């Protein structure tokens, strides 16, 4: 019998606020990450600070916010009212302390629990807050949440407002890097939601005049609009809506009190229901819901009194009531759309006619594909998907018990040796492997029919569970893992084409990545260094003098499972696939996958590290 573990008073610990945040950062900022994903912790730190400045603007104080990210230091300066000088230390270092508990001052604020800036403070190696008001300035500096110095200055001529600067703690956020593309997207959302607000980021100004209409104008090119963007506004709701000519799936951008609810929630569910109901009633036809919503592109923003979110990172609304004397979220959204969208369609018969033609076209396509879908599903079952093509993990992105597991990952590999190495070294709880059989088909210019007729695409779609909606995606991270050579680059390009052609929302929502693996191993008897670039190889050789052993990895299959653990574990390096908003998806596909073969081949050879215009290279 094993020895009984002692359990006494000595085992009981009381953690102070900063210890708890540092021990369990995921409870406060979600996953940590290294900055390769938009929901990584370093962006949540910025958002938590920025939300306070946004709230100042919403309350009518401060029309400009200045943000700077220089190397590791992040600074946010607003020109709002400034923190009451006697509470500067308390609001960033005492839990359950803040001005937002007074609903009279912050009726529809994003952050109501007084945790945000405390989490930033605790998770930063350096944190400084400064408040200017009434001709005075109070400031305080912290290290890992511990106060190191503070002061109150008299007769200061600085403009009123608050400035917060911080450096994420590298013992918490390892090998992190801020990617401007993610920061800019966040800031653009803020100005879309707050017309009239100016945000200056590293000298670049961001401003919106037309709110969510501007968001959709940037999201979808004018040439791809089925009809001009419908823009509807109410006291606590704003909707911008259109349909795409070419996109197959639904695309939504949802917000609550200025927070980008990337996982939707009760307001988005209400909108999707209301769109179907209003459309059916307008045309007097019981159209299928999927036909009405197919190719829809929409942005919706609502304001709720004291919203309830399903996590500290506020990515999904859980509230069912609008608050105050207003009805439920579902009733409010439905009534608004029933009135305003119905009025719009009556006043714009040409748009109503275009929309109806789109619905009828979707209906025809759905019926044509129904038989093919059934055959494709039968083939997927016969192929024993979970035994042959897919080595699945135990926890998924959409599990009922853990509905948004941010670490769940699917590696898409080519060849038995590469998939074998990853399979043997992966974390079976959160990492799955899908094995390709040779190079995928070039799907450029093909219809959705090919997804069901091509075995590789059909099985990949089934593994990801994205046939109906991105909401059903089984993995948060979809990672293309191919060799760093010409063939591997070609496979990457073909897979990217597949997603752009049929499931662009996987890319738009930041789920698709390229796995970085080392090109070289430099070692001596005492130390081994893995190098991802030629520059790193040179540095490693200099460090491990004299004459270390140098190995050039020609393919993933040459890396042993024991070594592979290092490259897909805590220190995994991922390059996110990002769309260039200056080019439409059709233009991108035409350039890279069209008939300009010589140009494409030259590009592939010259860019083995996936430096596409649509991909952000951060090395």
CATH number at residue 390: 3.40.50.670
Instruction: Please check whether residues 470 and 569 belong to one and the same domain.
Output: yes
pLDDT at position 274, please?
A: 95
Flag whether pLDDT at 348 surpasses 90. Answer: yes
Q: What is the DSSP letter of 323?
A: S
pLDDT of residue 259: 84
pLDDT at 36: 85
Report yes or no on 578 lying in a domain.
yes
Which helix (H) or strand (E) element contains residue 150? Answer: strand 146-153
Burial (CB < 10 A; 0-12, 13-18, 19+), residue 388, is exposed
- Mean pLDDT, residues 219-234 taken together: 90
Task: Report residue 39's pLDDT band, with 50, 70 and 90 as the boundaries.
Answer: confident
Same domain for 182 and 292: no
As a whole number, the mean pLDDT across the chain is 83
Question: Whose CA is closest to 322, among 341, 302, 298?
Answer: 302
**HSE-CB for 151 with a 13 A CA cutoff:** 4
- 235 and 341 co-located in one domain: yes
Start-end of H helices in 196-250: 212-219
Q: Which residues pair with 344 in a beta bridge?
A: none
Please tell me the predicted confidence (pLDDT) of residue 610: 41
Whole-number pLDDT of residue 78? 95
| Helix, strand, or coil (residue 320) | coil
Q: How far apart are CA 598 and CA 596, in angstroms?
A: 6
Pull the structure tokens for residue 323.
């608050």
Which of 456 and 315 is assigned the larger pLDDT? 456
**pLDDT band, very low/low/confident/very high, at 96 (cuts 50, 70, 90):** low
CA 365/CA 373 separation, integer angstroms:
12
Give me the helices (H) in 68-115, please.
Answer: 88-93
Q: φ, ψ for residue 510 (rounded to 5)?
A: 75, 35
Provide the pLDDT for residue 404: 53
**501 or 351: which leads in pLDDT:** 351
pLDDT tens figures, 509-565:
889 999 988 888 899 888 999 888 888 999 999 888 888 899 888 778 778 888 888
Instruction: Determine the length of the chain.
Output: 619
Per-residue tokens: 163: 């400035």
Range among 111-125, 403-417, 441-455 rated most confident? 441-455
The total of structural domains in the chain comes to 4
Q: Considering the domain boundaries, does residue 419 fall inside one?
A: yes
The pLDDT value recorded for residue 155 is: 79
Q: Cα–Cα distance between 394 and 407 in angstroms, integer?
A: 12
Do 297 and 445 lie in a common domain? no
- Euclidean distance between CA atoms 47 and 214, whole angstroms: 21
If one compares 112 and 71, the residue with the highest pLDDT of the two is: 71
Give percent of the chain above pLDDT 70: 84
Q: First and final CA of the chain: distance in angstroms?
A: 54
Query: Which regions of 12-135 does DSSP assign to beta strands (E)?
Result: 64-70, 73-78, 124-133
Phi, psi of 111 (to 5 degrees): -105, 115
Rg value, the chain, Cα: 26
* 4 in any annotated domain: no
Under the banding of pLDDT at 50, 70 and 90, the label for residue 386 is: very low
Q: How far is CA 605 from CA 25, 408, 486, 503, 600, in A?
A: 42, 32, 6, 27, 9
DSSP 416-474: HHHHHHHHHHS-TTTEEEEEE-SSPP--TT--THHHHHSHHHHHHHHHHT-SS-GGG-S
Q: Which of 509, 526, 552 is the last residue of a domain?
A: 552
Pairing mode of beta strands 431-436, 409-414? parallel
The residue assigned the tokens 């998770």 is 123
pLDDT confidence band for 613 (50 / 70 / 90)? very low
* Cβ atoms within 10 Å of 546's Cβ, excluding its own: 6
Residue 377 has pLDDT above 90, yes or no: no
At 69, list the tokens: 């990210």
User: Which of 143, 173, 207 is where one domain is finished?
Assistant: 207
Q: Do 443 and 566 share a domain, yes or no?
A: yes
* Average of per-residue pLDDT across 586-611: 56
pLDDT at 584 over 80: no
Does 320 lie in the same domain as 248?
yes
Q: Are residues 408 and 513 in the same domain?
A: yes
What mean pLDDT comes out for the span 357-374? 85
Q: Would you say residue 139 lies in a domain?
A: yes
Residues 417 and 346 in one domain: no
Which residue range(s) make up the domain with 191?
17-207
Query: What does DSSP say about strands 204-207 and 198-201: parallel, antiparallel, or unpaired?
Result: antiparallel
Judgement on whether residues 325 and 182 belong to the same structural domain of the protein? no
Q: Is the pLDDT of residue 597 over 90?
A: no
Residue 243 scores a pLDDT above 90: yes
In a domain, 541, yes or no: yes
Beta bridge partners of 299: 240, 253
**pLDDT given for residue 614 in this prediction:** 38
pLDDT, tens digit (0-9, with 9 covering 90-100), for 465-498: 887 777 788 898 999 998 877 788 888 888 998 9
CATH number at residue 280: 3.30.230.10
pLDDT bin (cut points 50, 70, 90) of residue 618 is very low
Q: Could you give the 3-state DSSP secondary structure of residue 255?
A: strand
One domain, residues 593 and 471:
yes
Nearest to 262 by CA among 217, 302, 315, 211: 315
Q: Is the pLDDT of residue 117 over 70?
A: yes
Per-residue confidence (pLDDT) for residue 415, from 0 to 100: 74
Residues 395 and 489 in one domain: yes
From 177, 207, 237, the end of a domain falls on 207
Pairing of strands 390-391, 409-414: unpaired
In this predicted structure, which of 243-247, 332-336, 411-415, 552-556 has the lowest mean pLDDT? Answer: 552-556
Angle at the Cα of 491 from the Cα atoms of 487 and 494, rounded to 5 degrees = 135
Tell me the pairing of strands 161-168 and 124-133. Answer: antiparallel
Alpha-carbon distances, residue 110 vs 28, 53, 107 (angstroms): 15, 11, 10
How far apart are the C-alpha atoms of 201 and 190, rounded to whole Å?
Answer: 12
* 192 assigned to some structural domain: yes
What confidence score (pLDDT) does residue 55 get? 87
Q: Let me know if residue 371 belongs to a domain.
A: no
Give the global pTM: 0.80
As given in the structure block, the two tokens for residue 419 are 């998939």
DSSP string, 553-605: --SGGGS-HHHHHHHSSTT-EEEEB---TTS-HHHHHHHHHSS-HHHHHHHHH
- Residue 484 CA from chain centroid, whole number: 26
Q: What's the token pair of residue 298? A: 């929409």
Question: Domain of 130: which CATH number?
Answer: 3.30.565.10
Residue 617 domain-assigned (yes or no): no
C-alpha to C-alpha distance for 361 and 291, rounded to whole angstroms: 8
With contact defined as beta carbons under 8 Å apart, do 249 and 470 qualify? Answer: yes
Q: How far is CA 289 from the centre of its chain?
A: 27
Closest alpha carbon to 231 in 252, 210, 245, 251: 210
Percentage, residues of the chain above pLDDT 90: 36
CA distance 337 to 360: 22
Residues 6+ apart with CB under 8 A from 24: none
526 and 451 co-located in one domain: no
Q: What is the DSSP letter of 83?
A: -
């Amino acid at each position: 019998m094993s020895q009984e573990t002692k359990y006494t008073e000595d085992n009981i610990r009381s953690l102070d606020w900063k210890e708890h945040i540092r021990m369990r950062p995921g409870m406060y900022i979600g996953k940590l990450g290294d900055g390769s994903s938009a929901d990584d912790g370093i962006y949540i730190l910025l958002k938590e600070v920025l939300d306070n400045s946004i709230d100042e603007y919403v309350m009518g104080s401060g029309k400009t916010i200045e943000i700077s990210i220089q190397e590791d230091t992040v600074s946010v300066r607003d020109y709002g009212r400034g923190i009451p000088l006697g509470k500067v230390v308390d609001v960033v270092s005492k839990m359950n302390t803040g001005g937002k508990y007074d609903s009279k001052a912050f009726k529809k604020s994003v952050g109501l629990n007084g945790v945000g800036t405390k989490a930033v403070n605790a998770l930063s190696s350096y944190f400084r807050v400064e408040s200017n008001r009434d001709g005075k300035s109070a400031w305080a500096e912290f290290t890992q949440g511990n106060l190191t110095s503070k002061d109150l200055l008299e007769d200061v001529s600085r403009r009123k407002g608050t400035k917060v600067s911080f450096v994420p703690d590298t013992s918490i956020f390892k090998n992190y890097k801020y990617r401007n593309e993610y920061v800019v997207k966040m800031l653009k959302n803020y100005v879309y939601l707050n017309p009239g607000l100016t945000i200056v980021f590293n000298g670049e100004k961001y401003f919106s005049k037309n709110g969510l209409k501007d968001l959709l104008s940037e999201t979808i090119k004018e040439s791809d609009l089925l009809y001009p963007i419908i823009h509807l506004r109410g006291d606590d709701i704003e909707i911008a809506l259109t349909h795409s000519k070419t996109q197959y799936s639904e695309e939504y951008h949802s917000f609550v009190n200025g927070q980008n609810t990337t996982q939707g929630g009760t307001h988005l569910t209400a909108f999707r229901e209301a769109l179907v109901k209003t459309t059916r009633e307008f045309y007097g036809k019981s159209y299928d819901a999927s036909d009405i919503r197919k190719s829809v592109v929409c942005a919706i923003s609502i304001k709720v009194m004291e919203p309830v979110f399903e996590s500290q990172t506020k990515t999904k609304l859980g509230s069912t009531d609008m608050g105050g004397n207003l009805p439920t979220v579902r009733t409010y959204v439905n009534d608004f759309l029933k009135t305003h969208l119905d009025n719009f369609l009556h006043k714009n018969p040409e748009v109503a006619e275009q929309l109806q033609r789109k619905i009828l076209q979707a209906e025809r396509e759905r019926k044509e594909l129904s038989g093919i879908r059934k055959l494709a599903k039968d083939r997927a079952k016969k192929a024993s998907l979970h035994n042959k093509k897919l080595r699945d993990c135990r926890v998924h992105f959409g599990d009922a018990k853990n509905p948004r597991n941010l670490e769940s990952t699917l590696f898409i590999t080519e060849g038995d040796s590469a998939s074998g190495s990853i399979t043997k070294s992966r974390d079976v709880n959160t990492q799955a492997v899908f094995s390709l059989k040779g190079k995928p088909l070039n799907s450029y210019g093909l219809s959705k029919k090919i997804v069901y007729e091509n075995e590789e695409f059909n099985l990949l779609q089934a593994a990801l569970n994205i046939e109906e909606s991105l909401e059903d995606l089984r993995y948060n991270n979809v990672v293309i893992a191919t060799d760093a050579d010409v063939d591997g680059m070609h496979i990457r390009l073909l897979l990217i084409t597949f997603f752009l052609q049929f499931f662009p929302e996987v890319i738009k929502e930041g789920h698709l990545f390229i796995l970085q693996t080392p090109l070289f191993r430099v070692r001596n008897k005492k130390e081994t260094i893995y190098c991802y670039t030629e520059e790193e190889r040179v540095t490693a050789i200099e460090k491990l003098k004299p004459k270390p052993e140098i190995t050039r990895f020609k393919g993933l299959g040459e890396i042993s499972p024991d070594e592979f653990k290092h490259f897909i574990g805590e220190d995994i390096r991922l390059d996110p696939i990002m769309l260039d908003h200056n080019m439409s998806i059709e233009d991108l596909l035409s350039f890279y996958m069209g008939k300009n073969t010589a140009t494409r081949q030259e590009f592939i050879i010259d860019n083995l590290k996936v430096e596409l215009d649509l991909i952000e290279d951060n090395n």
